[in-house]
Amino acid sequence: MKKGKKIRRTAGILLLVLILAGMYYYVVLPPINIHASGFWIFVMAVLAALLLLSTAKAARTGASIHLRDVTYSIKTKKSVKLIFALLILTAAAYLVGSVLSSPIVNAKKYQKLLEPETGNFAEDIKQVNYNQIPLLDKDSAELLGNRKMGSMVDMVSQFEVSPLYSQINYKGRPVRVTPLVYASAVKWFTNQKSGIPAYISIDMATQNTELVKVPEGIRYSESEYLNRNIYRHLRFHYPTYMFDQLSFEIDEEGTPYWICPVKEFTIGLFGGQTIGKVVLCNAVTGECQSMDVEDCPSWVDRVYPADLLIQLYDYHGTLKNGYINSILGQKGCLETTAGYNYLAQDDDVWVYTGVTSVSGDRSNVGFVLMNQRTKETRYYEVAGAEEFSAMDSAEGQVQNLGYQATFPLLLNISGEPTYFIALKDNAGLVKKYAMVNIQKYQNVAIGDSVSACEKAYVKLLRSSGNASAAAGEASEASGIIKRIVQGVVDGNTHFYVMLENSDLIFDVPLADFMEIVKYAEGDKVSFSYEESDPVCIVLGLK
């Protein structure tokens, strides 16, 4: 009878631990993988629970447990001693594995996780195309998204906008997309049957904001509470996968997907993180597809999170001469600057950031571009101002207005590496644009529009004797005016002229060429101009 009672108590303890472990697993969702820190913590939590309950069972006093009872139980009961030993061994293995996986003992391996190629700026970075310049940063996109949501009276009481705002290339244009989320647990309960009805798409070049409705509803998202929660859905499909940051994207047909990169550790148990696989999860149907990174379709833009790419390059730059040198002497150590931005190129999204010495001398020795889909990394040796110095320089040009500069975007203007900066007012709205020469950051041009800013910048380069900017004067055109139209852009009057036997459109700003008012259709005119898209920029009028 006594033996049967003991068996029932042991079974009760195991059942209780099993229930607690199941609840922990359902909420925390640790991967069943020895390379995942969460798995080791899960195992230690289970062992700790077993130890606590076994010690309580073995304690001599029934009403309360004293420290001396616990000590006695650990010393005398074989089952308690075994669990305690397993807990200590697991914790020790975790700590030793963490040390042996760290850069302290694997500096060379960490330094080789990323192998940048040296690129040619003029060849690799194409001349600026206004249709592909993202004029907004994430904060400005959030303002537009919230404003759009506020106008949707049929949805605003039930849903909110997710803060994700993934930047992608969609049909050749820079776009940020983000799903709606349930406004609260109650709103989830009343709406989860039909799912989330839409996502928001913001064209970063035109600032056009669209709420795109999904008739079938987005049924798998971060705001779901039970099995349709995207993290729980992925865990039950792939119990051993270690997922990195998820991103929300759309394919070329506008179908919403979750892009789920899978971590791979290449150094010891927990070190040398990279991305080995990627899972594409249809946000409507929940259908999942796992594939190697190299097999990822071209419409996917974000496989490698920007933070991971920045970290990998920092390992490459700081560990060249070993770990100790990276801490003490720091000879030859380089690191990325404190911010980054995105550049659309070749239908991919590239992370841009400057490279500076660890001494923090407010100057860059170059910059890197890192492909978020393939991890391809290119280094460009262009010495010049650090981004924050350029931001200060741009703000100095409008200090009377109190505008704040956004983190720069790298552009090729007349063959010159140039920082492009949006200037925002206190309400977060973009009011002006600035272009700052990377190598000579005192050369700053300000404009109310991108085209006006670019014209002012090219003139500034030309006046300072820049040969590549002066090359823009080589193009000449003359002929009979076929059509002339007047328009106003950002408060400035422009004349748009077309000549006979030519499809080009010439932009003639009235402020620069007042004599254009003398011309009419049928008159002969001659231009010196610089080719641009969609209109040619007039540099001279004859």
Task: Give the domain ranges of the chain.
Answer: 2-100, 133-303, 387-465, 472-541
CA–CA distance, 186 with 192 (Å, rounded to integer): 10
And the tokens for 267? 């150094």
Alpha helices, DSSP H only, in 319-403? 323-327, 387-397
What is the per-residue burial (b if ≥16 Cβ within 10 Å, else e) of 73-97? bbeebebbeebbebbeebeeebeeb
Backbone angles phi and psi of 81, in degrees to 5? -65, -40
Query: What letter does residue 448 receive in the DSSP assignment?
Result: S
Query: What letter does residue 46 receive in the DSSP assignment?
Result: H
Which candidate, 181, 173, 180, places its Cα nearest to that of 207?
Answer: 173
Please say whether the beta carbons of 13 and 219 come within 8 A. Answer: no
Opening angle at CA 25, ends 21 and 26, nearest 5:
120
| Cα-based torsion angle of the residue sequence 80, 81, 86, 89 in order, rounded to the nearest 10 degrees | 150
CA–CA distance, 540 with 542 (Å, rounded to integer): 7
CA–CA distance, 413 with 451 (Å, rounded to integer): 12
Q: What is the C-alpha end-to-end distance of the chain, expressed in Å?
A: 113
Q: Compute CA distances 263 → 104, 277, 465, 537, whole Å.
A: 21, 7, 50, 48
Report the number of secondary-structure helices (H) and strands (E) in the chain. Answer: 14, 27
The pLDDT, as a whole number, for residue 58 is 58
The distance of Cα 29 from the centroid of its chain, to the nearest Å, equals 24
* Block residue for tokens 């272009």: 435
What is the per-residue burial (b if ≥16 Cβ within 10 Å, else e) of 55-64? bebbbeeeee
**Into which CATH architecture does domain 472-541 fall?**
Beta Barrel (2.40)
CA–CA distance, 135 with 146 (Å, rounded to integer): 18
Please say whether the beta carbons of 13 and 1 come within 8 A. Answer: no
- Output the tens digit of pLDDT for each of the chain's 542 residues: 456 666 777 677 778 878 888 888 899 899 999 999 989 998 998 888 888 877 766 554 444 445 455 454 555 567 778 888 899 999 999 999 999 999 999 999 999 999 999 988 877 777 766 667 788 888 888 888 988 888 887 788 899 999 999 999 998 888 999 999 999 999 999 999 999 999 999 998 888 999 999 999 999 999 999 999 999 999 999 999 999 999 999 999 999 999 999 999 999 999 999 999 999 999 999 999 999 999 999 999 999 999 999 999 999 999 988 999 888 888 889 999 988 988 888 788 999 999 998 876 678 888 999 999 999 999 998 888 888 889 999 999 888 888 999 999 888 887 788 999 999 988 888 889 999 988 888 889 998 888 788 888 888 887 665 645 544 455 788 999 999 999 887 667 889 999 998 888 998 888 778 889 889 999 999 988 877 767 887 877 87
The pLDDT, as a whole number, for residue 227 is 92
Peptide bond into 534 cis (omega under 30): yes
Q: Which residues sit opposite 417 in a β-bridge?
A: 412
Q: Which residues sit opposite 38 in a β-bridge?
A: none
Rg for the chain, CA atoms, rounded: 30
The pLDDT, as a whole number, for residue 6 is 63
Please say whether the beta carbons of 73 and 59 come within 8 A. Answer: yes
Opening angle at CA 342, ends 340 and 346, nearest 5:
145
SS3 state at 161: strand
The pLDDT, as a whole number, for residue 241 is 96
